[in-house]
Amino acid sequence: MSEQNPEQHTISTHVEEMNELMKRRREELEELKRQNINPYPYEFSQTNFSQDIISQYKDESPQQSVSVAGRIMSIRRMGKASFCHVQDSHGKIQVYLKKDEIGDSYETFRLLDIGDIIGVEGYVFRTKMGEISIHAKRFELLSKSLRPLPIVKEKVDEQGNKHIFDPLSDKELRYRQRYVDLIVNQGVKEVFIKRTKIMNTIRKFFDTRGYLEVETPILQPMYGGAFARPFITHHNALDIDLYLRIADELYLKRLIVGGFDAVYEFSKDFRNEGMDRSHNPEFTMLELYVAFKDYRWMMDLVEQMVSAVAHDVNGSMKCKVGGNEIDFTPPWKRVTMFDAIKEFTGKNLRSTTEEDVKINMKELHLEIEPGMSWGSMIDEIFSEFVEPNLIQPTFITDYPIEMSPLAKRHRSEQGLVERFEVIVNAHELCNAFSELNDPLDQRFRFEEQMKLKDKGDEEAQVLDEDYLRALEYGMPPTAGLGIGIDRLTMLLTNQDSIRDVLFFPQMKPEH
C-alpha cells in the first residue's frame, strides 16, 4: 500500500480533530490545486534579504529590483490591492500587491493566509506612510501552511519603540513547538545565534593557539570525570551495558598521555538527575586540557577567553544579567575558598578539624548530614554563605581534597588541591585544576571514592583501571578546564532558564 497517491491523503485522516481554521486551510489547498497551482513547488531564486533591502535603500536611487522569500506574517487587504509582511531569516519587509500590476494572480493571493511561504519579485519603494516596501511584480506560493499561527502584532510608535501585542507566552507551547516560538517571537532566534557565536569564538580562540579539537566516546563502558548518576543503555551485539558519558575528562587526559599538548571538546554530557532552571538531562560542556601548565596559568587563559567571548558576542565587556550588570574586564578577583568564607562568615576555617567545622556548621544553622566530611561541610558553608554574594566574575581557589579526586594536591597547602572555580552571578561558571598525574595518588583517590560508593553514595566516582594504566605510562603536568556552555550562554544572553538556551529542552511526553 506504499504506492498510494498522496493526493488521496489530503483530506483523509484526522479530520475529526481539526478545527474550522484548519479545515478552511485544507479547502484552500484543494482550491489551489484545482487552479493548477502547485502549493509545494521545488525552488525559488531568492536574491535578497529583507533587512539588507531596508538598510541599503536610498530614496534618490533608481528603482531596485529584488526577489525575497519568506513567510506571510500579516495581511491587510483593501479590495483590489493588499499589503502583507513577509518574514525571512533576517527580518521582515512589507510587500504591496495590486491587481493592476499582478493581474490574475491577485485572485490566487486571496487564497493565501498568514503562515504561507511565498516568493516575491518586485522593486523597492517607500510608501506614503514611509515604510520601505516591495512593490510586487510577481509572486509565487512556495508552501501552503495548514495550521493557524499564533498572531503576534506589533506597533512602532513615533519614538521608534516597538510595542508587542499578545506575545506567544505559553511556555509549554514555546518549548514543545519551538518552531512556532521561533516564527512568532522576536528575539528567540537571537539567543540561539549568540549561542553558536559563543561556541565559534571559543573554537577560534583555541584554534589560533594550536589546541586540537577532538571527539571522544559518548557511549562509555565506564563513566567518570564527574559526580553524577549516569544514563545506562545496552549494546545488543556485545550484550553489555554502556553508559552515556557524564564527562569526557578521562578520555581527554588519555590523549594528553598519548602526546597531544592541548586538546578540547564540546562535549554533550548526560546526567540522570533532577531538572530545573539550570539543569537539563543533556547539556554541553567544554573541556580543555593543556600539557605543562598549571591552574594558575589556566586562570589567565580563562579570563582572556571568557572576556573575549563576552566582547565578541555582545560588543562589550559588560552585560546585564537580571538586575545586575556584570563586567568581564580582566583581571578578575582571585580569592581562596577559605579567605572567601572568612570574608562572608567571619570564620577562619583553614586549620580546623572535622569537629571544629561541625561546631561552626551549627553556629551557622546548617544541617549536618550523616557521612559529611570536613571538605563537604566546608563546601556547604561556601555555597550557603559565599556563592550567593559573588556577582562579578571571581576565581575561588584551593578546594578541600575530598571534593576533588582528579585534582592534584596543592604544592604548599595540606589537605587542599590546586583547583579553581569561576563564580559569576552567584553561579559556578567553570571548574579547573592542575590535573592529578601521580598514578599512585590517583589510585588512592579512586579507592577513597569506592569506599563512598560502598557506603551508598550513588554519585561517587568509579575506579577506572584503564585510566590508571594510562597515567602509569606517564602524563605530563597538565592544566584542565570545564565550562558549562549552556550556563555561559544564559549569562551572555540574559536568560534565567536553561530551557531558553536549548532549542529543544527535555519535556515530559505530551500525552
Element (H, E) at 373: none
Minimum CB separation of residue 275 from RNA in Å reads 7
> For 371, how many CA atoms within 13 A lie in the half-sphere containing its CB?
8
Name the H helices within 12-89: 20-34, 50-56
Minimum CB separation of residue 177 from RNA in Å reads 9
Where b means 16+ CB within 10 Å and e means fewer, 124-148 reads beeeeeeebbbbbeebbbbebbbee
Minimum CB separation of residue 238 from RNA in Å reads 28
Q: Which is nearer to RNA, 278 or 494 (CB)?
A: 278
Minimum CB separation of residue 404 from RNA in Å reads 6
Q: Which is nearer to RNA, 98 or 347 (CB)?
A: 98
Spatial separation of the C-alpha atoms in residues 201 and 199, rounded to whole Å: 5
* The three grid cell numbers given for residue 256, joined into one nine-digit string: 594528553
Q: Which is nearer to RNA, 97 or 202 (CB)?
A: 97
Minimum CB separation of residue 100 from RNA in Å reads 4
Minimum CB separation of residue 504 from RNA in Å reads 12
Q: Which is nearer to RNA, 305 or 432 (CB)?
A: 432
Q: What is the DSSP letter of 383?
A: I
Q: Which is nearer to RNA, 175 or 338 (CB)?
A: 175
Spatial separation of the C-alpha atoms in residues 458 and 393, rounded to whole Å: 32
Q: Which is nearer to RNA, 14 or 236 (CB)?
A: 14
Residue that is written with C-alpha cell 604548599 in the block: 412
Residue type, 20: E
Q: Which is nearer to RNA, 132 or 317 (CB)?
A: 132
Q: Which is nearer to RNA, 265 or 428 (CB)?
A: 428
* The three grid cell numbers given for residue 198, joined into one nine-digit string: 559563543
Beta-carbon neighbour count of residue 108 at 10 Å? 17
Minimum CB separation of residue 224 from RNA in Å reads 12
* The three grid cell numbers given for residue 55, joined into one nine-digit string: 538598510
Minimum CB separation of residue 98 from RNA in Å reads 3
Minimum CB separation of residue 8 from RNA in Å reads 25
35 Cβ contact list (under 8 Å, min separation 6):
108
DSSP 36-48: T--SS-S------
Minimum CB separation of residue 200 from RNA in Å reads 27
338 Cβ contact list (under 8 Å, min separation 6):
348, 349, 350, 378, 398
Strand bridging mode 262-270 / 212-213: parallel
Query: In the chain, helix, strand, coil percent, each to 5?
Result: 35, 25, 40
In sign, the C-alpha dihedral spanning 53, 55, 59, 62 is: negative
Spatial separation of the C-alpha atoms in residues 94 and 54, rounded to whole Å: 10
Q: Which is nearer to RNA, 113 or 327 (CB)?
A: 113
* The three grid cell numbers given for residue 370, joined into one nine-digit string: 550523616
Q: Which is nearer to RNA, 75 or 222 (CB)?
A: 75
Residue that is written with C-alpha cell 480533530 in the block: 17
Classify residue 386 by burial, with Cβ atoms within 10 Å: 0-12, 13-18, 19+: buried
